[in-house]
Amino acid sequence: MGYETLEFTIKEMAAYITLNRPNRLNSFDMKLGHELHEVLQGIAKNQNIKAVIIKGTGKGFCGGGDVKEMYAAADKSRFLRDLTQAIHQCVIEIRNMEKPVIAAVNGSAFGAGLSLALACDIIIAVKDAKMSTAFINIGLAPGCGTQFITRLIGYQRACEYLLTSKTFTAEEAYKLSMINKVVDTDKLDVAVEDVVSSFRSLPPIAVGKAKMLINKSLDNDMISHLELESKTAAWSAGTEDFTEGISAFIEKRKPVFRGK
């Protein structure tokens, strides 16, 4: 199926999504919001996909919401409500799918574009990437990302970066523990593939359940989370992958996981 605002391919058990509105810095309009959500939903249901990569075309990862469309909207409040909900659907799908999602931040990530990156599980950015929450600069309350940023960097730092829309570099983001790795522009694809290759050989069911547990740990109390871990481990012990994993361990060989 063809898409107007993004490119989508599957290669060797990995899904590659490239936001493709370079004349708008790959910013979100309603079409991109709906198409990205549709693609993510399909990926979540595809058991043959072990990892997901999101990247942008051209010089930007994602410029946030399309400001020109905001300006043109007759009912700006209604438009922002609809647009933020479309973006939120994508963020929720990324966090809920039991597959690792990697943001390959190839350039600027502003506003909801930064939020999209922070929704991902692993973030690799080029040194030249510039980032900002951006919302305040156009007189807009943040429509996404405040929870992600506050949990990552703490209250005072979050206020510093959110309330002033401070622009920062990928290196600064790395020091703030917002992202996992910073690389030269020509090394981005290689760095991403290094991560993806590891997921191709790992057991996808166990990886997915581990991601679920990490996300649940952000809200659960200790007792209920320990119980969830116990139940999840017990459930995963009934999979073929677990049988293969312990057999390979005993037989001193590399396991071959099949996602069953």
Residue 69 vs residues 28, 29, 177, 180, 193: alpha-carbon distances, Å:
9, 7, 33, 33, 35
Tell me what pLDDT residue 2 has: 87
Residue 1 has pLDDT above 80, yes or no: no
Residue 148 has pLDDT above 70, yes or no: yes
Give tens-digit pLDDT for 111-121.
999 999 999 99
Give tens-digit pLDDT for 218-241.
999 999 999 999 999 999 999 999
- Scored b (16 or more CB within 10 A) or e, 76-96 reads eeebbeebbebbbbbbebbbe
Please say whether the structural domain 202-251 has been given the CATH code 1.10.12. Answer: yes
Tell me what pLDDT residue 241 has: 95
Per CATH, the homologous superfamily of domain 6-200 is 2-enoyl-CoA Hydratase; Chain A, domain 1 (3.90.226.10)
Residues of each domain in the chain carrying CATH 1.10.12: 202-251
Give tens-digit pLDDT for 26-80.
999 999 999 999 999 999 999 999 999 999 999 899 999 999 999 999 999 999 9
Residue 7 has pLDDT above 70, yes or no: yes
**What single letter denotes the amino acid at residue 241?**
D
Mean pLDDT throughout 238-250? 95
Tokens of 115: 């939020």
Tell me what pLDDT residue 15 has: 98
**What single letter denotes the amino acid at residue 96?**
N
Residues of each domain in the chain carrying CATH 3.90.226.10: 6-200
Mean pLDDT throughout 161-175? 97
pTM above 0.85, yes or no: yes
Q: For the chain, give the percent of residues with pLDDT over 70.
A: 100
